[in-house]
A = this chain, B = another copy of it.
Amino acid sequence: MNPSPALMVRMVLTAWETQHKRTTKVFDSLSDEQLLKEIAPGRNRGVYLLGHLTAVNDNLFKLFGLGEPSLPTFYDQFVKEADQPEAALPPIATLRKQWTDTGAALLKAMNTLTPEQWFDRHTAVSAEDFAREPHRNKLNVLMTRITHEGYHHGQLILLQPKEQA
Contact = CB atoms under 8 A, between A and B. Distances in A.
Interface of A: 1-3, 5, 7-8, 10-12, 14-15, 19, 39-43, 115-116, 119-120, 134-135, 137, 139-140, 143-144, 146-148, 150-155, 158, 162, 165
B135 A11 contact: yes
This chain: copies in complex? 2
Nearest to A158: B40
Contacts of A42: 162
Contact of A1 (B10, B39, B43, B116): B116
A2 B116 CA distance: 7
A51 to B, nearest CB: 17
A41 B158 CA distance: 9
